[in-house]
Structure 1
Amino acid sequence: MLLTDYFRSTPDLTWDIALSCGVTHGTIRLPEDDAFDVTSAAHLHTVCERFRERGITPIIVEPLPNELHDHIKAGDAMRDECIEKFIILMKNLAAEGIHTVCFNFMAHYGWTRTAKNLPERGGASVTGFDLAEFLPDETVLTHDQMWKNYEYFVKAAVPYAEQYGVKLALHPDDPPLANLGGVARIFTSLDAIKRGISVVDSPNLGVTFCQACYRLMGERLEDAIPALRDKIFFIHFRNVCGDKTCFRETFHDNGEIDMAAAMRLYMENGVDVPIRVDHVPTMPWEQSDVAGYDAIGRLFAIGYLKGIIEGATYGNP
């Protein structure tokens, strides 16, 4: 496994903490301000050099920039222009040594939580979701529309992903509900994921295996990991309690997933890919910046993940 962590595009405390914990490879979020041109090789190079100068090698972009992806998922009038820009971006990413893009197909709402400060161990707080508390707007997209939009995108993008050596890693819907406020969600089961990555038969189309999402789907990791083993490009190592209609996130060692067993499953199935801790609690004395992505909780999470990896590989060549 290659340990990575999630970084915003300008230095902050998460950079310092990850480096202090021994993380040297970055899953990076590209800038989202008007000054950044997503098609500019020079702009991308500047961002990548910022990481390299701090000792972080960028290897994954997550997410596909929303300025493009929102139109692609909705299938609106700007879709084709945005796909063309993404193709240019893939070429530029490959030139920078970045060969994986984590993308999702959650239209309109993205990953969704109804609470950001649920109590966790020792006074820490976590995010959670309760369908009964979700307040939708009037946007409507059907399952048929969403599948057509997804198929249109991957059929257009994957040939260029192959040409440039970029892997497209599909993240499941979070939460994995069939419908969220009138907007259909299509990647809510293992079978749906299999269908999605079979639209185009390509070694460059696979998955980001967010294990907590599969747990919330009701899938067994003992089934899902072997089924997708050759298509897992990236892992989100996260834990949860509850089900897809009502759940909360947890410390990595305090949820319903047996994390050590999950790591053994990856290794037994030959899954040796970049991995990151994903969401973490906000610590009791921490001022929350972005719930799930606050800095101090990463100290425990990264250390825990390193220990799980080392424990699973101890004594093995």
Structure 2
Amino acid sequence: MYTLIQCMRWYGHKDEVTLQDIRQAGCTGVVSALHQYLPGEIWDYDTIIQYKAEIENHGLKWEVVESLPVHDHIKLGYEDRDDLIRKYILSMQNLAKAGIKVITYNFMPLLDWLRTDVDYQREDGSGILYFKKDEYAVFDLFILKRHDARDEYSTAEYERLKHFYEKLGQSEIDRIKNNFLLPLPGADEHFNMEDLRQKIEKYRKVTREKMKTNLVYFLKKICPVADESGIQLAVHPDDPPYSVFGLPRIIHTSADC
């Protein structure tokens, strides 16, 4: 029987929300990760234990890992993927040895979840993460100027978006641009515009079918280890639930299950 455990995301020592805050809010668990490790690096057992102990010293339990990131070369099916999967499995086993048995991953190409505003103000004054599709399209078409982006929009839609872009002030353009280039919370990796263009280019010839094949290959390697170690794997669906920047996203509809 499964019971619900009240948890909150904690992004580590850089998080403005402290473990004390999480405990005071009534949570008993934490969803977190070792953000200092880059995709493809092995999560060291001793480091896991130290991080877990810090959480437990605040009266909480590290219930869920989100995320144990999957290297893009695994998603792309490059020749070094077997070695990268081997390292991924070692991280899984180290987590299981430390008693952490729920691991979240995603198979989103290049980028994880995207937001156009990381501090959108609601009517009540609270701040939230926000995604506005028109602002994404403006970034894609007129700021990033991605190759082939124009082909994804009808003439009427393109003209509407162009008009929307031309009405934006420079501060709004800078906000949209900067938010797309920000690292994920807890991470240090920043993109610049040219980095993003080059990384997107690597996926141009990768179809959704090829991505699915690469996902199945990955799962066939890690699922037996998860079963042996008592690990529950959870995949984060594509966020937003459709292709962005022409990238082949494969986990966002019921047909993808």
Is the TM value for this pair above 0.5?
yes
Answer whether contact 2:102 2:233 (CA < 8 A) is retained: yes
* Counterpart residue number, 1:183: 247
Name which of 118, 127, 130 aligns with 2:129. Answer: 127
Is this contact kept in 2: 1:38–1:44, CA < 8 A?
no
Q: Secondary structure at the match of 1:73?
A: helix
Give the Å deviation of 1:11: 7.4
Aligned alpha-carbon RMSD (Å): 2.1
SS at match of 1:10: helix
Q: CA, structure 1 residues 11+174, in 2 after alignment: closer, same or farther (shift >3 Å)?
A: closer
Question: CA offset at residue 183 of structure 1?
Answer: 0.6
1:143-169 CA distances to partner (integer Å, 9 max, x unpaired)?
022111111110111010011111111
> How many angstroms apart in 1 are the aligned matches of 2:8 and 2:94?
22
Structure 2 CA distance, aligned partners of 1:30 and 1:59?
A: 14
Higher relative contact order (CA 8 A, sep 6+): 2
- In the aligned structure 2, how far is the partner of 1:184 from the partner of 1:14? 36
Give the TM-score of the pair, scaled to structure 1. 0.55
Q: CA deviation at 1:33?
A: 4.9
- Mark the runs of 5 or more structure 1 residues left unpaired by the alignment: 195-317
Structure-1 separation of matches of 2:235 and 2:37: 25
Are 1:28 and 2:32 an aligned pair? yes
* Unpaired segments ≥5 residues, structure 2: 141-145, 147-196
Aligned residue number for residue 8 of structure 1: 11
Does residue 101 of structure 1 match 2:103?
Answer: yes
Structure whose alpha-carbon radius of gyration is higher: 2
Amino acid of the residue matched to residue 56 of structure 1? L
Q: State the identity %.
A: 30
Q: Secondary structure at the match of 1:191?
A: helix
- Contact 2:20 2:58 (C-alpha < 8 Å) held by counterparts: no
Q: How many residues align?
A: 188
Gap change, CA 1:39 and 1:127, over 3 Å in 2: closer
User: In structure 2, which of residues 39, 42, 47 is the aligned counterpart of residue 43 of structure 1?
Assistant: 47
1: CA distance between counterparts of 2:58 and 2:109? 35
Give the deviation of 1:31 after TM superposition: 3.0
Evaluate the alpha carbon distance shift between residue 14 and residue 74 of structure 1 in structure 2; reply closer, same or farther with a 3 A threshold: farther
Shift in alpha-carbon separation, 1:51–1:159, aligned structure 2, 3 A: same
2:218 aligned with 1:153, yes or no? Answer: yes
Q: For 1:161 and 1:53, how far apart are their aligned partners in 2?
A: 28
Identify the structure with the greater helix proportion: 2
Distance, in Å, in 2 between the alignment partners of 1:187 and 1:41 is 31
Q: State the distance in 2 between where 1:100 and 1:16 align.
A: 23
Under a length normalisation based on structure 2, what TM-score does the superposition of the two structures give? 0.66
| SS at structure 2 position matched to 1:27 | strand
Q: CA deviation at 1:78?
A: 3.5
Q: Verify: 1:17 aligned to 2:21, yes or no.
A: yes
8 A Cα contact 2:37 2:43, kept in partner: no
Structure 2 match to 1:166: 231
CA contact (8 A) 1:27 1:62 kept: yes
- List structure 1 runs of 4+ shifted beyond 6 angstroms: none
Deviation readout 1:3-58 (Å, 9 max, x if unpaired): 11111233753312111112121111113258xx6342112111111211222211
Equivalent residue of 1:155, what SS? helix
